[in-house]
Amino acid sequence: MPLGAQSSEQALPDLRLVPLRFSDLPGWEADDHLAAFKAFIRSAKAFERPAGVASGKTRTADEALVAAVRRAAARAAGITTAAGARAFFEESFVPHRVERRGAGGVLTGYYEPVLPGSRTRTDAFSIPVYRRPPDLVNLVGEAERGALADGLTHARKTASGIEPYATRAEIEGGALEGQGLELVWLSDPVDTFFMHIQGSGRIRFPDGTTVRITYDGKNGHPYTSVGRHLIDAGQFTADQMSLDALKVWLSADAERGRRVMQENRSFIFFRELENEDDGPLGALEIPLSSGRSLAVDTGFHAIGTPVFVTAPDLKLWGGEEGFARLMIAQDVGSAIRGPERGDIYFGSGTEAGALAGTTKHAGRFFVLLPREQPLP
């Protein structure tokens, strides 16, 4: 039975979904369900487009979930309060507790960096951000690239067939030079590297104008965490590692930092968004919503699925209460692996980056699956 349809109890490899009542969800009543509803309906357009390449090894939205998203979009004009949005979710879905083997769930965060840049190469801006090369082909669907990240997800199409694309080190060594693929130019190699990890960026030019650029494919090589690499090498303990600490270490010695960053063979390509106001795009080109969009492992959860997430020790925005809110699965990531592994999108800019860089907390997932027949 596909994940996304109601059942009394579902079992998947390493995962069991046990139905609950909404009153069983800790913090459900206090959440802003209207914010979650607005994020939920942003998935609707994604299901109007063909799915594209798919391996069949990951979870995709079934008819019941697609119908729920479309029903929400059709009723959006009449649902303008948190109470109305909560009623929609409660009449349309059944919450399920995620039960699984192994270690507990983990929540991290990501964001959209805002970086200075240039349309042309200059002495100050000499690091290229590349467009998607014309010979790059997908081996799996983009919504599957996180769940299937142990193998090649993209490759180079040649006259003789398919072969692995150039690695990060090879691209930085000039493998794509002379092809006119440069989209923008940045000034800092570490900032550029972290924009690759985040998958999007807002570029501010010297004249004050800005553009948003977003993920448009990758070279297909598996992602390697350079933070984990440095922990394993004894440069940091796990408690010492943070986004800021890693940036400082990588920036302190340019050559040393370059070598370590190239341990991550994965390399991201970007495109400019035509409508900058749409904000960063997640999987299936769904516009992301700050604090409500969640990157998940599509080996377990379909894009578009509402997931109520709790993390008692995650206290944000100066609050005293732990994190408990309804999120929408709208993105994927190479490091997001497992049924209770999630990455919270925190928004754009420095403050969002600070939140993302300090978020690594234990968390629980309660997956909302569509009712076979919504309540009247």
CATH number at residue 102: 2.40.40.10
pLDDT digits (tens, 9 = 90+) for 235-267: 999 889 888 899 999 999 999 999 999 999 999
Q: How far apart are CA 4 and CA 74, in angstroms?
A: 20
| Shared-domain flag, residues 318 and 170 | no
Stretch among 176-190, 259-273, 316-330, 342-356 having the lowest mean pLDDT? 316-330
pLDDT digits (tens, 9 = 90+) for 74-117: 999 999 999 999 999 999 999 999 987 777 799 999 999 999 99
Q: How far apart are CA 306 and CA 39, in angstroms?
A: 10
- Model pLDDT, residue 13: 55
297: in domain: yes
Q: Which secondary structure element, helix H or strand E, spans residue 311, and what is its range? A: strand 306-311
- Work out how many domains the chain is built from and give that number: 2
* 8 A C-beta contact, residue 252 and residue 286: no
| Shared-domain flag, residues 122 and 92 | no
Q: How far apart are CA 164 and CA 246, in angstroms?
A: 29
pLDDT digits (tens, 9 = 90+) for 23-76: 999 999 999 999 999 999 999 988 886 655 555 667 788 899 999 999 999 999
Residue with tokens 């553009």: 211
| Shared-domain flag, residues 148 and 163 | yes
156: in domain: yes
Chain mean pLDDT for the chain: 90
Name the DSSP letter for residue 165.
Answer: P
43: in domain: yes
Please, is 252 exposed, middle or buried when counting C-beta atoms within 10 Å of its C-beta (0-12, 13-18, 19+)?
A: exposed
CA distances from 72 to 40, 46, 278 (A): 8, 14, 20
Q: How far apart are CA 296 and CA 300, in angstroms?
A: 8
For residue 63, give every residue at least 6 positions away whose Cβ sits within 8 Å of its Cβ, in sequence order, or none.
Answer: none
44: in domain: yes
Can you read off the two tokens belonging to residue 42?
Answer: 């942003």
| Shared-domain flag, residues 237 and 312 | no
Q: Calculate Rg over the CA atoms of the chain.
A: 21
5: in domain: no
For residue 72, give every residue at least 6 positions away whose Cβ sits within 8 Å of its Cβ, in sequence order, or none.
Answer: 37, 40, 41, 44, 79, 88, 92
Exposed e or buried b per residue across 356-370, where buried means at least 16 C-beta atoms within 10 angstroms of its C-beta: bbebbbebbbbbbbb
175: in domain: yes
Which carries the bigger pLDDT value, residue 57 or residue 132? 132
Identify the domain boundary among 232, 255, 278.
278
Q: How far apart are CA 353 and CA 246, in angstroms?
A: 13
Q: How far apart are CA 260 and CA 169, in angstroms?
A: 10
| Shared-domain flag, residues 266 and 325 | no
| Shared-domain flag, residues 239 and 217 | yes
Identify the domain boundary among 278, 312, 340.
278
DSSP structure string for 205-260: -TTS-EEEEEEEEE--PPP--HHHHHHHTTS--TTT--HHHHHHHHHHSHHHHHHH
Enclosing domain of residue 289 = 10-108+281-370
Strands lying side by side in the sheet with 127-130: 127-130, 182-186, 114-118, 200-204, 210-218, 268-272
pLDDT at residue 1 tops 80: no
251: in domain: yes
* 8 A C-beta contact, residue 366 and residue 98: yes
Please, is 255 exposed, middle or buried when counting C-beta atoms within 10 Å of its C-beta (0-12, 13-18, 19+)?
A: exposed
Mean pLDDT for 208-237 is 95
| Shared-domain flag, residues 269 and 351 | no
| Shared-domain flag, residues 293 and 155 | no
CATH of residue 213: 2.40.240.50
Closest Cα partner for 168 from 258, 242, 250, 42?
Answer: 258
